[in-house]
Amino acid sequence: MESTPENWLEFSAGQNTKANLLRFKSNIYLSFGKQIFGFLFFLIKSYGIKSLKTPKNDVLFFASTSNQYSVLNSIYKEHTKFKAAFAIPNAASKKFNTKDTNPYYLRISFIYIFPVLLLLLRRLFPLLKILWQTDRRLIFLRLNSFLQIYYWLIAHQVFLEKMQPKVVIMSNDHNPENRTLIEICKYFDIKTAYVPHASVSDRFHSLDFNYSFLDGQHALDIYKKCDSRRAPNSMIIDKRLCYLVGNLRKLEVKKNNLNQSKKFGLAVKGTDNINNIIYIISKLSAIYPVSIRPHPSLKFNKPFHILDKKFPGLVELSDPHSDSVSSFLSSIDIFVSGNTTLSLEAASAEIYPVYLNELSNNVNDYYGFVKRKIVHYFDTIDDFIIFHNKGNLFLPDKNGINHYWSSYNRPTFGNEAKIISNYLRKIVDSSYKLPSNYSIYNETL
């Protein structure tokens, strides 16, 4: 904890505090109660009478959200020549469908509650001091995620000692369950691998892995800029290899039948104002029906009920937990959003991507899609409606897409997961020779 304190292990809230807190709009005192009960519920879900029995494996896949899982699952399905296991926090076991991987739902024996409580008691006042000095709202709005750090510092040691993996691969580098796992792996000299689950930005942590399989040149350039974003005393991994493989989210988009009515897709995040969303939908639904795609972390049942009442028969919900990206994109003709990596995937599937600055939460062109001419920029929905009514066209720049997605429209396109699986085999077994057609650009940081 001395080398990497809590505000670096809960990286998003601890280092990108202002942006992270924007999505929390509830009363801070009410939220504080929710944070305490949330942490207690997490502990109840994370302990069992006995620790989970887990055999030894060469490669451990770790995911805690549906987005992370969908990316890693495509690689896991390709593994055949090495022993691998998929692990998911037991507290997240009901949050997304994992039937096709039969994962281990991680929980530890109740006997380990004592070292967790000891660590919590030892660090609680230093933690509160850090949070108070950073932004006192963190105590009321984000305490749960900071307290979970102490569980994961113990739990990861238990799991790793049992599984003894040669490589741990993950698809997130800033959540506390991931950052603690990274630090524990460094301490025990276990190699780590990383595949981003979405496009990256300069708010990210520095690359902290032995092997990173990135989407494209954009991700590598951004991570070079982020290389100083680490805890001052954190251990830096020597020779961090970066491979430009391409996007792992496999898309199977079927274009709308000409006889089908057209439809808008609208991406919604927690930072979006409901009144603004209502106004945007009122404009869009006057032309075509609207399929609303909330961010996976957003609880959207109540807002959708409001929208469904206000626009009967004109709106539908695309649930990211059950409706795949491919299925969603196959159902729409025009995709409207602020800052989201779904815009890149829409553009790659030749679906018209519209970027509304009023949905950007004052972070204009966060991913750089506007600059690279991948999405069509409009300040407001009214500006887009004027353009649309004139019947004008916009075509995304394919070179722009390639900057983010190195395999797009190239021979390796669609084989990204298989390529990474072969690299994992090479890491596990140094005598294995990679296929000659797997020549992927790489750099060492």
Residue-range domains of the chain with CATH: 6-244 (3.40.50), 264-404 (3.40.50.2000)
d(CA 340, CA 196): 14
Distance set, CA 244 to CA 60, 220, 412, 435 (Å): 22, 8, 11, 17
- Consecutive H or E run containing 245: none
Q: Tally the C-alpha atoms within 13 A of residue 235's C-alpha that lie toward its C-beta.
A: 15
Determine contact, residues 337/343, Cβ cutoff 8 Å. yes
d(CA 282, CA 285): 5
Sheet holding 376-378, edge to edge: 315-317, 290-294, 264-268, 334-337, 352-356, 376-378
d(CA 143, CA 164): 31
List of the chain residues with pLDDT < 70: 250, 255-260, 438
Model pLDDT, residue 23: 77
Model pLDDT, residue 435: 84
Model pLDDT, residue 297: 81
- Residues 94-112: pLDDT tens digits? 777 777 788 899 999 999 9
End-to-end CA distance of the chain: 25
Model pLDDT, residue 250: 67
